[in-house]
Amino acid sequence: MPPVKRTIRFQLLLVVNMVLGIFVVVFLLFSYQRDLAARLNDKRIALEEEAATILPTILEMQQEERTEIQKYINTIHRQMQEIHAPEHHILITFEKPERPAISDAGQSEELITAIRQAARSPGKLTHFHNSEIVVGTFREGGITVSVSETVDNLYGDVLSEVLNRLTGFIVLAFITGIMINLALTYIVTRPLDQLMQTVQLIGQGELGTQSETFHSMELNYLTHEINAMSTSLAAVEKVRQRQMNKARMIQENLHPRKIDVPGLDVATIYHPADEVGGDYYDVLQLEDGAWLFCVADITGHGISAAMSAAVLKTLLIQACEHSSCPAEIMEFINRRFTVISPVGEFVSMQLISIHPETHAIEYASAGHEPACILSSTGDISESETTGLLVGIEQETSWNTICLQLNQGDRLLMLTDGVSETHSPAGEMFGRKRLTALLQECQHLSVSETAEQIRSTLSQFRAGGAQQDDITLLLVEMTAPCSGSTTPAPEVGHR
């Protein structure tokens, strides 16, 4: 599965927000550590000040009974509890080993040990059960006062402050994202959308389309280059169109402008897939009085195929001056076309000579699409291939086949672009549909039949592109036959 493509705006916002998010996380961690250290230090100093406040009284009372000192410490402890410091404890230690330490009521030996351990540590901190305690100490006259307090609530306060800052950063990031998004929309996204629309229009053939300029230097430069390219392509296309119009005019002159053969009714259809095509058809009168009908299909289409069609026209006219036999005409064309044609370019061609008075026909086919023969009674038959494609081997020969037709019979010559027309779903029109359509239209005139075939092919494509050139030549024997109606035997010619 191909990776999902993201817009520039999305990618920029993602990068900006990621960088901003990383910065916020690092800043908040640093801020949390800094604030926590400051709060712990403030708490330690406050406890030291409290210890310093208590010590003078203890010094004055050191000669009194231990119970009096204990009562005083309990009083201080009770006052601290009243100001929301329930885990506040006081410990008095003496340098003289004979005098035991005095603490507020309720302290365990384990807690006293923890307070002493914290007092000796560099940060005045230690763990006690699931809590952490900080200790402030003050020493004078051989007496040390240690005041301890848990800092669990302090951690919570610092975390709460950091979360409040995080909320502010999130709001700020959201506002920043909106501002960046708006800036990207007006500075980058909209100009790029306009440039993409311009490029799409150029790609769709609207050459010369121009885009407006922008304030950004880079986008303005890109716009200038696209506009210049569009202008250049429009100029080239204008020249190409002039050349193609001339080529189209030349190709139109290759085909007979008006076909008027006594005794025959003729209709044609020619639709190139490109501006010029590779199909070629012609009708020429031969020296023996017959009429030669030619349909050819050059490989490919476009300019190269159109040039080859012009060559075929010239060779066909020359060949008809030397012979009236379709096979000999084919051989004449092949010998010369093989020499001058590009490598790999071949021609399928069918030549049929018709004698209007006798309805006798002779034909040679160089690998071409079979012609359809529709009798006046509605029967369908097809012509045969009598040799290789033109342009493969210079000394190739073809056979000529002779047939006898009757009044009302029809002959349909075509290129494979007719039967190989495809629907949008990829289905091919095929010869079966074509022959059935030819039979259905037998009651119509030749021109009406040709138009019906053209219309049916167009409907079958349903608006889809025409993939190949379409050429169709339909002939009907209209004059009474003046000769024998017995079919002529097949003749092999070399």
Taking only the tens place, the pLDDT of each residue in 242-275 is: 877 777 777 777 888 888 999 999 999 998 887 7
Same domain, 359 and 420: yes
Instruction: Tell me the DSSP string of 280-313.
Output: EEEEEE-TTS-EEEEEEEESS-SHHHHHHHHHHH
Q: Count CA atoms closer than 13 A to 135's CA, side-chain side.
A: 27
Instruction: Give me the pLDDT at residue 1, please.
Output: 58
Same domain, 269 and 418: yes
Q: How far apart are CA 266 and CA 281, in angstroms?
A: 13
Query: Does residue 170 fall inside a structural domain?
Result: no
Q: How far apart are CA 299 and CA 73, in angstroms?
A: 113
Instruction: Give me the pLDDT at residue 9, please.
Output: 67
Query: For all residues of the chain together, what is the average pLDDT?
Result: 85
Kindly tell me if the per-residue pLDDT of 451 is higher than 80: yes
Kindly tell me if the per-residue pLDDT of 492 is higher than 50: no
Instruction: Give me the pLDDT at residue 384, please.
Output: 93
Which one has a higher pLDDT value, 467 or 378?
378
Same domain, 266 and 326: yes
Kindly tell me if the per-residue pLDDT of 67 is higher than 90: no
Six-digit token string for 250? 């030349």
Query: Does residue 235 fall inside a structural domain?
Result: yes
pLDDT digit string, tens, across residues 161-173: 888 877 887 888 7
Kindly tell me if the per-residue pLDDT of 84 is higher than 60: no
Which pLDDT band holds residue 160 (cuts at 50, 70, 90)?
confident
Six-digit token string for 105? 């009521």
pLDDT digit string, tens, across residues 109-154: 888 888 888 888 888 888 888 888 888 888 888 888 888 888 877 7
Task: Summarize the confidence of residues 178-188 as an average pLDDT.
Answer: 79
Task: Summarize the confidence of residues 88-102 as an average pLDDT.
Answer: 83
Q: DSSP state, 443?
A: T
Query: Does residue 281 fall inside a structural domain?
Result: yes
Six-digit token string for 467? 């993939």
Domain span at residue 233?
Answer: 205-254
Same domain, 346 and 467: yes
Q: How far apart are CA 383 and CA 469, in angstroms?
A: 21
Q: DSSP state, 323?
A: -
Q: What is the distance of C-alpha 287 from the center of its chain?
A: 61
Nearest CA to 282 among 93, 471, 152, 451?
471
Six-digit token string for 237? 């296309």
Q: How far apart are CA 213 and CA 197, in angstroms?
A: 14
Which pLDDT band holds residue 459 (cuts at 50, 70, 90)?
very high
Nearest CA to 357 among 478, 219, 254?
478
Instruction: Give me the pLDDT at residue 161, please.
Output: 82
Kindly tell me if the per-residue pLDDT of 63 is higher than 50: yes
Same domain, 384 and 463: yes
Task: Summarize the confidence of residues 400-409 as an average pLDDT.
Answer: 94
Run of H or E residues at 455 = helix 446-461
Kindly tell me if the per-residue pLDDT of 487 is higher than 60: no
Same domain, 214 and 118: no
Same domain, 278 and 139: no
Instruction: Give me the pLDDT at residue 297, please.
Output: 92
Instruction: Give me the pLDDT at residue 21, please.
Output: 78
Query: Does residue 278 fall inside a structural domain?
Result: yes
Which one has a higher pLDDT value, 14 or 378?
378
Run of H or E residues at 4 = none
Q: How far apart are CA 337 and CA 347, in angstroms?
A: 9
Q: Look at residues 226, 254, 282 and tell me which one is the last residue of a structural domain.
A: 254
Which pLDDT band holds residue 86 (cuts at 50, 70, 90)?
low
Which residue has tokens 């800052």? 165
Instruction: Give me the pLDDT at residue 85, please.
Output: 62
**Triad 417, 464, 2: Cα angle to 5°:** 115
Give SS3 for 368.
coil
Same domain, 233 and 279: no
**Which of 29-43, 100-114, 372-386, 464-478 is predicted with the least confidence, judged by mean pLDDT?**
100-114
66 φ/ψ sector (left φ>0, alpha ψ -120 to 50, else beta) = alpha
Residue environment code for 298-330, b if the CB has 16+ CB neighbours within 10 A, otherwise e: bbbbbebbbbbbebbbebbeebbeebbbbbbbb
Instruction: Give me the pLDDT at residue 493, please.
Output: 41
Which pLDDT band holds residue 389 (cuts at 50, 70, 90)?
very high
Query: Does residue 488 fall inside a structural domain?
Result: no
Q: How far apart are the first and last CA of the chain?
A: 61
Neighbours of 441 (CB within 10 A): 20
Give SS3 for 483.
coil
Nearest CA to 467 among 428, 409, 411?
428
Percentage of the chain beyond pLDDT 90 is 35
Same domain, 126 and 43: yes
Same domain, 296 and 243: no
Q: Specify the number of domains making up the chain.
A: 3
pLDDT digit string, tens, across residues 214-224: 777 888 888 88
Query: Does residue 494 fall inside a structural domain?
Result: no
Kindly tell me if the per-residue pLDDT of 93 is higher than 60: yes
Kindly tell me if the per-residue pLDDT of 308 is higher than 70: yes
Same domain, 244 and 290: no
Q: Look at residues 227, 254, 281 and tell me which one is the last residue of a structural domain.
A: 254
Percentage of the chain beyond pLDDT 70 is 95
Query: Does residue 182 fall inside a structural domain?
Result: no
Which pLDDT band holds residue 65 (cuts at 50, 70, 90)?
confident
Cβ atoms of residues 304 and 342 within 8 Å = yes
CATH code, 393: 3.60.40.10
Which one has a higher pLDDT value, 488 or 225?
225
Query: Does residue 1 fall inside a structural domain?
Result: no
Kindly tell me if the per-residue pLDDT of 426 is higher than 70: yes
Instruction: Give me the pLDDT at residue 403, please.
Output: 95
Instruction: Give me the pLDDT at residue 325, please.
Output: 95
Instruction: Give me the pLDDT at residue 441, please.
Output: 94
pTM, rounded to two decimals: 0.60
Radius of gyration over alpha carbons of the chain, in Å?
52
Cβ atoms of residues 10 and 181 within 8 Å = no
pLDDT digit string, tens, across residues 310-348: 899 999 999 999 999 999 999 999 999 999 887 778 999
Same domain, 56 and 135: yes
Q: Which amino acid is at 262?
A: P
